[in-house]
Structure 1
Amino acid sequence: MFDVLRSSWALLLGMLLLMVGNGLQGTLLGVRGDIEGFSTVELSVIMSAYFAGFLGGSRLAPEMIRRVGHIRVFAALGSLVSAALILFPVLTDPISWTVLRLIIGFCFSGVYVTAESWLNNSTTNENRGKTLSVYMVVQLAGVVSAQALLVAGDPSGYNLFIILSVLVSLAFAPILLSVTPTPAFEATRPMGFREIIQVSPLGCMGIFVLGGVFSAMFGMSAVYATEVGFSLGQISIFVASFYVGGLLLQYPIGWISDRMDRRRLILIVSALGAVAGVLAIFSGGSFYLILVAAFVVGGMANPLYALLIAYTNDFLEHDQMAAAGGRMIFINGVGAIFGPLIVGALMNVAGPQGYFLYIVALMAGLAVYAAYRMTVRPAPLAVDTGSYAPVMPTASPVAMELAQEAFIEAALEDEEAADKPVSAV
């Protein structure tokens, strides 16, 4: 791990600052939108715009990089993000905020593609898995620490937006000043949607559902917390608890997934997420019970993304994995766009409890579908399954490629170990 930090510290520091900025802006907008008198439906559209922009950016950024190069794309998109963050407290109407969120989602996606290309270029076969793990920890740590900044200023003023803009601007300095080699970017030919669905119906359905769950956590958690009357301090703790759960439970769930039928684990994890949502609904407004529920939901949903990728990979050849990963990102992105919209509509009808009703419905539905799939297809043999590779739902195509390469390396090592003759004692 220390080798990874020594070789990639500038990239990781820059990404940490970016995640702090990105993690705070969603929470801050949820609070500020309430102050500005935006309705729940208006806020849901604003939050959804980020994921629409992110999906578009993940598809267009590679072409931009091929045309003008990594450094120009990185600097241009970073400047747009910094400017857009400053404009939020100036243009306080739903349409302007929706456009700004769309721009920020597009730009962050391109920034991730560019930075992760450099990160991928600096890895070797020996440290790819460790690099991915450290990168995931940095991402989650950035989002968690961002929530503490919410109480550092007045959400109705300008200071927090200025801090966001400064953090994002500073994030580019260590990356641009230290990274000299420009990595090559080669687009992977994607698999057809029909092909990937036939290979893993559960993987595709799960990734789509999880897109909706994650976008609700990332985009609408602050809106929910504001509507139930949490204080600023409670809102920051509540939002952070989703990601603390993901950080602490990622590796235990990954370890278990390599030792049992992954469909059974998908069922269990999804069911636990649904139960946690029910706990929040019947908490009687207890902040601590809702906090526990958020921790469990985040602890189940974040690792579930990598678990579904690993399960899908169990049915793929090595040379199909990178292409399949690109399709999985697209399916997840489509689900993420609709998440805030549906949550907003439910909260408009059922009140704040519509937030957790939505999470319960999706997680329970995924658990039921996993149980059904267990009846129509036998589990793959243990020797045919690969290792779990940690990857976040915010993964760009480059991060997904890094995860798939780590998965392939682990699978090849397992195959070599299995082929080695046992020496006589």
Structure 2
Amino acid sequence: MLKVLNNSWALFLGLLLLMMGNGLQGTLLGLRGAIEGFDAATMAWVMSAYFAGFLGGSRLTPWFISRVGHVRVFAAFASLISAGFIMYAAVPHPILWALMRLMVGFCFSGVYVVCESWLNDSATNETRGQTLSLYMLVQTAGVLAAQALINTADPGAYALFVLMSVLVSISFAPILLSVTPAPIFSGTKPMTLRQLYETSPLGCVGAFFMGGIFASMFGMSAVYGAEKGLSVGEISIFVGAIYVGGLLLQYPIGWLSDRMDRRRLIAFMCAGAAAIMLPATFLADSFAVVLMAGFVLGGIGNPLYALLIAYTADYLEPEDMAAGSGGLMFINGCGAILGPFIVGWLMTGVGTDFFFVFLAANFGLIAAYGFWRMTRRAAPAVDQTAAYAPVMPQASPVAVEAAQEYAIEQAAESDAGEGEERPDHAPDDLTGD
């Protein structure tokens, strides 16, 4: 990993600064929204706009890159992000915030595509796994550092918004001054959503409800803390616990997923998360309970996304994995757009602590559907499944595709070591109900 860091330290430094800016954005807007008197239902519109923009950016960025190139796309999008961050403080109005969040989400999607393209292009077969792991660590470290920075100034003033803008602006330098020649951005073989659902119903249903969970983690967690009356320090610790949970449990869950029926693991993980989220609704007056629920939310929610991708890949031809992952990302994005509206309505119309009811419902629905799917078809043998590759829910299609390439390479190396030939596609009797 030190070799990877030595070769690409400037890219990782730029990404760290970008993630610090983005991590500040979600928490700071949740705090400032409460100061401005915006209720949870109003903030739901603001938070949802980011995911709508991110989804649009993931679809349109390849077109921009094909016309003007990686460097110009990165410079233009990062500049717009920096300007958007300043506009939040200049005009604290929910309509403007929603428009800025839409733009910022679109641009961050494009920035991630460009950065991940450079990282993937610089990685070799031997270093791709380490590059992906370091990328995930940098993402998490950036968000956690942002939670510490939130305590350094008054969220009702300008300083933190200026800091966000400065962090993104500074990130330009190490990335643009150190990158290798721009990589080729290639499209993937298309796959319709119907084809994807017929191949992996649980993958599609799980990805949709995972979108609602992800939107709650990344968008509405700070809004919940502000509505709950938590202090700035407590909100930053709560949001930080979500990402610490995701970091610590990503690899143990990945290790398990390579050694057992992934569908069973998905169902039991989600059932366990639902069993914790629901009681937290009634015990949320204790900050320790809120903190534990946040840790479990991140610890199950973040690995769940990668687990759903790996499970779906078990039923796909290797050449279809990138298209299948892209389809899951689109479904996940749709769930993320819808999620804040539901949780915002629950928090405003029923009660703030129904934030956890929403999470319990999403986890519970995935678990119930997973258990039902167990009655519909047999699971593939463990030695016929693709390797698990960690990837965060906010990753772009480039990182997801790189993770799938790494999983295929790992599976091929494992088969070669065992002297067996791995099937290059899902068994015929496992591709349908």
Q: 2:375 corresponds to which residue?
A: 375
User: What letter corresponds to residue 385 of structure 2 in structure 1?
Assistant: T
Asked whether the equivalents of residues 190 and 326 of structure 1 are also in contact (C-alpha less than 8 Å), the reply is no
Q: 2:74 corresponds to which residue?
A: 74
User: What letter corresponds to residue 413 of structure 2 in structure 1?
Assistant: E
CA shift digits 1:313-356 (9 cap, x unpaired): 11111111111111111111111101111111111111111211
Q: 1:93 corresponds to which residue?
A: 93
Q: 1:285 corresponds to which residue?
A: 285
User: What letter corresponds to residue 210 of structure 1 in structure 2?
Assistant: M
Give the 3 Å change call, closer, same or farther, for CA 179–367 of structure 1 in structure 2.
same
Q: 1:21 corresponds to which residue?
A: 21
Asked whether the equivalents of residues 190 and 327 of structure 1 are also in contact (C-alpha less than 8 Å), the reply is no
Q: Distance between the aligned counterparts of 2:235 and 2:275, measured in 1?
A: 22
Q: Distance between the aligned counterparts of 1:145 and 1:290, measured in 2?
A: 20
Q: Distance between the aligned counterparts of 1:172 and 1:255, measured in 2?
A: 36
Q: 2:150 corresponds to which residue?
A: 150
SS at 2:125's partner residue? coil
Residues 7-406 of structure 1: matches in 2 within 5 Å? Answer: 7-406=7-406
Asked whether the equivalents of residues 41 and 344 of structure 1 are also in contact (C-alpha less than 8 Å), the reply is yes
Q: Give how far 1:180 is off.
A: 2.9
Q: Give how far 1:11 is off.
A: 1.0
Q: State the identity %.
A: 59
Asked whether the equivalents of residues 272 and 296 of structure 1 are also in contact (C-alpha less than 8 Å), the reply is no
Asked whether the equivalents of residues 284 and 290 of structure 2 are also in contact (C-alpha less than 8 Å), the reply is no
Q: Distance between the aligned counterparts of 1:129 and 1:316, measured in 2?
A: 21
Give the 3 Å change call, closer, same or farther, for CA 403–357 of structure 1 in structure 2.
same
User: What letter corresponds to residue 323 of structure 1 in structure 2?
Assistant: A
Q: Distance between the aligned counterparts of 1:270 and 1:368, measured in 2?
A: 9
Q: Give how far 1:419 is off.
A: 2.8
CA shift digits 1:230-289 (9 cap, x unpaired): 000001001111110000000000001111111111012111211221232121500011
Of stretches 277-286 and 83-92 in structure 1, the one that deviates more from structure 2 is 277-286
Q: Give how far 1:415 is off.
A: 2.5
SS at 1:125's partner residue? coil
User: How many residues are aligned here?
Assistant: 421
Asked whether the equivalents of residues 58 and 397 of structure 1 are also in contact (C-alpha less than 8 Å), the reply is yes
CA shift digits 1:114-163 (9 cap, x unpaired): 11110110011111111111111111111111111111100110000000
Q: Give how far 1:12 is off.
A: 1.0
Asked whether the equivalents of residues 274 and 360 of structure 1 are also in contact (C-alpha less than 8 Å), the reply is yes
Q: Distance between the aligned counterparts of 2:410 and 2:95, measured in 1?
A: 47
Q: 1:416 corresponds to which residue?
A: 416
CA shift digits 1:5-45 (9 cap, x unpaired): 11111111111111111011011001101111112211000
Q: Structure 1: 5+ residue runs without aligned partners?
A: none
CA shift digits 1:69-107 (9 cap, x unpaired): 110010000100001100111111111111000000001
CA shift digits 1:186-212 (9 cap, x unpaired): 111321111110110001111111011
User: What letter corresponds to residue 251 of structure 2 in structure 1?
Assistant: Y
Q: Distance between the aligned counterparts of 1:102 and 1:182, measured in 2?
A: 27
**Aligned-CA RMSD value:** 1.1
Q: Distance between the aligned counterparts of 1:154 and 1:97, measured in 2?
A: 19
Asked whether the equivalents of residues 81 and 104 of structure 1 are also in contact (C-alpha less than 8 Å), the reply is yes
Q: Structure 2: 5+ residue runs without aligned partners?
A: 422-433
Q: Give how far 1:420 is off.
A: 5.6
Q: 2:428 corresponds to which residue?
A: none
User: What letter corresponds to residue 415 of structure 1 in structure 2?
Assistant: D
Q: Distance between the aligned counterparts of 1:373 and 1:418, measured in 2?
A: 31
Asked whether the equivalents of residues 189 and 320 of structure 2 are also in contact (C-alpha less than 8 Å), the reply is no
Give the TM-score of the pair, scaled to structure 2: 0.96
Q: Give how far 1:219 is off.
A: 0.5
Q: Give how far 1:395 is off.
A: 1.2
Asked whether the equivalents of residues 282 and 353 of structure 2 are also in contact (C-alpha less than 8 Å), the reply is no
Asked whether the equivalents of residues 266 and 370 of structure 1 are also in contact (C-alpha less than 8 Å), the reply is yes
Asked whether the equivalents of residues 284 and 353 of structure 2 are also in contact (C-alpha less than 8 Å), the reply is no
